[in-house]
Structure 1
Amino acid sequence: MSIPAGLNDAFQAYERALMQNDLETMSRLFADEGTTLRGDGGGLLIGHEQIDAFRRGRSGALPRELVDVQIQVIDDNTALIVAVTAARRGGHGLQTQLWRRTTAGWQVTAAHVSAPPTTFDPAVWRIVGDPLVPPTGTGDLQGQTVAVKDVFAVAGHAIGAGVPTYLDGQPHATTHASAVARLLRAGAAIRGIARTDQLTYSLAGDNPHYGTPVNALVPGALPGGSSSGPATAVALGAASIGLGTDTAGSIRVPASYQGLWGLRTTHGSVPVDGMVPLAPDFDTVGLLTRTPQLLRSAAMALAPESAFALSGAVVDLDELGLTDLATYAEAFRVHQAFQAWSVHGAWIAEHPRAVLGSAGERFAAASRITSAEDARAREVLDRARSTIDGLLGGAVLRLPAAAGPAPRLWTSPREVERARRATLELTCIAGITGRPALVTPGSSTSEGPVGRCLLGPPNSELALIAWTMRNGEAE
């Protein structure tokens, strides 16, 4: 059967538009229907509106050339086109499109894109090895691999903290951070050093220097941060354990967004030597895994003193009677910002264009917080801690791990900030009280999952995991 008139012209027009990032033409050449499909390694997008939004949120396609185009005509109004592509960076990909003749002309109704294979994703990893660091002992973590957030010292490597200029000025570490050393002694190997949001001052998971790691569960969504690299590495199966930090939710939010198990340890229970701080009054070490069994083994290696047994009830957040949560969250935000500027302000002032985007704006705002404002915030936090501890006692608090599912890559900065502030009203409770928090894969919505969070008494990490496994809290 001969190629229908206009089909090849439409296909070539789409290819030109793709290479020029001509959003209007690409939109016109995809069928404006709720059933139009576009799939790739990141997942499936359904509907013209979602596909358009995805394109608006990216900077364009990788430069490529067509190597071979095969057209299989199904009937006068339908054809399948399979194209072999060659990326200018190297490697071959495959593109499959189902075209249909409509009243608007030839349009794509379904497409699948296979990009050239990547052996290293620089948005997820800073450096990887096979392994990067072998285990130093044997134990329950034998055979497991760790993605280490790029804020921990790994002997022989500098810490980058998500900022190229910061990395350039750091010496190579001579010893491992204690958290890293504990996992190595338990038999785990370091797979690599994984990306973080800039100086960990974000919950979104994006990084304007290195790119945004994919959300392995929700196509086109933010991965959650600031432990974004370890979370995505674990969710993709590139590592079995993610070692990260949690100040205001940097373990809990990516766990929620990507359907992982996440653990924020009790404040002060795991040494933070060899770790880049953000706000020392709130900074903790955390873990990410795909199963509760592995999380328990990793927690035993990381926080062996967490032997507190649960004896209290489980209380839902709306039953607790916290009426000043927004006030507490604002005080948390102010004190976190004041400490963040105290830690990093001098360096940022010397390198004014090193930290970009929303993190840069956040540091700029932090620079304007006065000692008096911080003192007032600390007074509120002291009252909040006393109130929450008095209400909870030895009970476990159950609450959402985030205010909602992951925002999409194309979500406006204002909406991402709104989601961050709403989430902070939930995550600040652990920060204020220093309590451990366990995130389990939670309920799915049409926009993605929202994890469940259990906040336990200090040093109850292992008991929280055991209770959750026993009572089937994860869905």
Structure 2
Amino acid sequence: MTGELPDGLLAAFEAYEDALAANDHEALAGFFVPGPHTLRGDATGLLVGSEAIAGFRASRPGVVRRGIRSLHVRAIGTEHALIVAENAPVAGGAGVVTQLWSRTAAGWQIEAAQVAASAPAVDPSIWRVVGTPLLAGASGGALSGVRVAVKDLFEVAGFAVGAGNPDYLRSGTAATESAPAVTALLGAGASVIGIAQTDEFAYSIAGTNVHSGTPPNPRVPGGLPGGSSSGPAAAVALGQADLGLATDTAGSIRVPASYQGLWGLRTSHGSVSLGGVLPLAPSFDTVGWLARTSGLLVSAAATSLDPERQLPVAARFVVCGQLVFAAEEDVQAAFVEAIDRLERGGYLPEPVDIITIDPLADLFETFRTVQAAEAWRSHGDWVDAHPGTLGPDVRSRFAFASLIDADEEAGHRGDLAEARDRLDAALDGRILLLPAASSTAPARSASGAQIERVRAATLSMTCLAGIGGYPSVSMPGLVVGGAPLGLSLVGPRYSDLALLDLAAGLAEGLEG
């Protein structure tokens, strides 16, 4: 210690440790200086402002109890002090916490904190199983050295599919061979380093799982990662993998890509084999990939897409006002600013046309109903036989799905075919530009109602690619309130590789 030990400081520190051990959210919030300038950082990122810190605390189940191994206090005048505490978690390992305390009218409070804890060898919220590698790739291929995180819907030789549910995993059997989408990457030289977590049965876009936990979002500390490809997305964003192999039914690649500042591709429906992939809604399910760079995404796509079926596409762009207005106002503003910037920079070679699409509510309801009917057909028997095993959000969706009768499904299937034709006519071979999600990543502490509202708004935007069977890219480049937001491109069927090339060009315009 340097200087005289400030009165009451150690008592405040001990009270804080007691509140932490008890996971007393209200008491913990009171230990941080209120306002927008308070800081808390750890390996997953920096939280700015007391509200963000309180929200992060509220979303955590608690921390491992710890003892204090050593305590160092450095007084800074009479109103501030620096505390560095070396702690010993009862589970093992060691950690260091550095705190700047300030004397306020409410007593001693923390103004800034940095937490350094023992990192787990494997984060179970991200990974179900890992290896070094799990499956090695062929030598000398175009993807040599690339580390792949495989979403837990794909068959991986020697392992059962878990679908984000431990009971489903226990009832499964190990695959004798890997899914074609996995073997394509292995054949190109990539190695599978692990099977990554998914939202249960991929029936969510939030990124939460009551069994394995919520993976971190390194770009938005305290924010949801996006799902259902939450595990592969987090692994790629954290640098634990280079490529995520995933699926997208209603936005399960594009939403986590948007939330975490990644590149993501939903492929044209039917362009990549779904063999060995657990279905959700086969009329909409697609295979795709997540990466930190467009170049790797192109290389990955080229391993599975048949070049003879890939079509060129003209650089003609459209915007649908109804889709943009479905997003939150700050997202609308960021999107309009980006389009204006790309137009002024000459990256959109022709004027962007404004088009109208049938009421989004009708399209979304049609998509939602058919998706649910197929989800129940895929998994209803298992869900009925295993009551109480699903998280509340996924359980509610299957409950809705169970009520759809044959006549209702048939009516909406007719609507779906008509909607597809109308979308083809409205787009007319042009590229649709829109925000990749209706918002940036919601806070983990957001209420169920808030998350459901964001989900419905986002799905009303992302479902168009599913209805049309179109490829869709989510590319990083927009920022709202410091958080990443994807710019989405939706192109004609089988224009996947051409769409990626166009997106890479637009990315240069947004970076310049």
TM-score, reference length from structure 2: 0.91
Q: Distance in 1 between matches of 2:357 and 2:119?
A: 50
Q: Could you report, residue by residue, the CA deviation over 1:116-154 in whole angstroms, capped at 9, with x for unpaired residues?
A: 122110000011111110013542111101000000000
Q: Distance in 1 between matches of 2:26 and 2:423?
A: 53
SS at match of 2:492: coil
- Residue number among 465, 485, 503 corresponding to 1:450 in the alignment: 485
Q: Which segment is superposed worse, 213-222 or 298-307?
A: 298-307
SS at match of 2:236: helix
CA contact (8 A) 1:405 1:447 kept: no
CA contact (8 A) 2:204 2:227 kept: yes
CA contact (8 A) 1:440 1:474 kept: no
The residue that corresponds to 1:102 in the other structure is 104
Matches within 5 A, 1:56-455: 56-136=58-138, 138-305=140-307, 307-311=310-314, 313-318=316-321, 319-446=354-481, 448-455=483-490
SS at match of 1:468: helix
Q: Following TM superposition, by how much is the alpha carbon of 1:106 offset from its aligned partner in structure 2, in angstroms?
A: 1.0
SS at match of 1:25: helix
SS at match of 2:488: strand
Aligned residues: 475
2:16 is aligned with 1:46: no
Q: Distance in 1 between matches of 2:358 and 2:466?
A: 18
CA contact (8 A) 1:87 1:116 kept: no
Q: Following TM superposition, by how much is the alpha carbon of 1:360 offset from its aligned partner in structure 2, in angstroms?
A: 1.2
Q: Following TM superposition, by how much is the alpha carbon of 1:474 offset from its aligned partner in structure 2, in angstroms?
A: 5.1
Following TM superposition, where does structure 1 have runs of at least 4 consecutive aligned residues deviating by more than 3 angstroms? none
The residue that corresponds to 2:344 in the other structure is none
CA RMSD of aligned residues (A): 1.2
SS at match of 2:176: coil
SS at match of 1:268: coil
Q: Could you report, residue by residue, the CA deviation over 1:71-92 in whole angstroms, capped at 9, with x for unpaired residues?
A: 1111222110001111222211
The residue that corresponds to 2:342 in the other structure is none
Aligned partner letter, 2:160: A
- Residue number among 481, 489, 496 corresponding to 1:461 in the alignment: 496
SS at match of 1:263: strand
Q: Following TM superposition, by how much is the alpha carbon of 1:46 offset from its aligned partner in structure 2, in angstroms?
A: 1.4
Q: Which segment is superposed worse, 292-301 or 45-54?
A: 45-54
Q: Distance in 1 between matches of 2:278 and 2:358?
A: 34
2:15 is aligned with 1:9: no
SS at match of 2:269: coil
SS at match of 2:109: strand
Q: Could you report, residue by residue, the CA deviation over 1:16-70 in whole angstroms, capped at 9, with x for unpaired residues?
A: 0000011222222211222111111121111112211221122122222211111
Aligned partner letter, 2:317: V
SS at match of 1:131: strand
Q: Could you report, residue by residue, the CA deviation over 1:307-361 in whole angstroms, capped at 9, with x for unpaired residues?
A: 2111261111222211312210111001101100011000010001121120111
The residue that corresponds to 2:328 in the other structure is none
SS at match of 1:266: coil
1:185 and 1:137, CA in 2 relative to 1: closer, same or farther beyond 3 A?
Answer: farther
Among the aligned pairs, what percent are the same residue? 49
CA contact (8 A) 2:315 2:502 kept: no
Q: Could you report, residue by residue, the CA deviation over 1:201-221 in whole angstroms, capped at 9, with x for unpaired residues?
A: 000000000000001211100
Uncovered stretches (5+) of structure 1, i.e. residues with no partner:
none
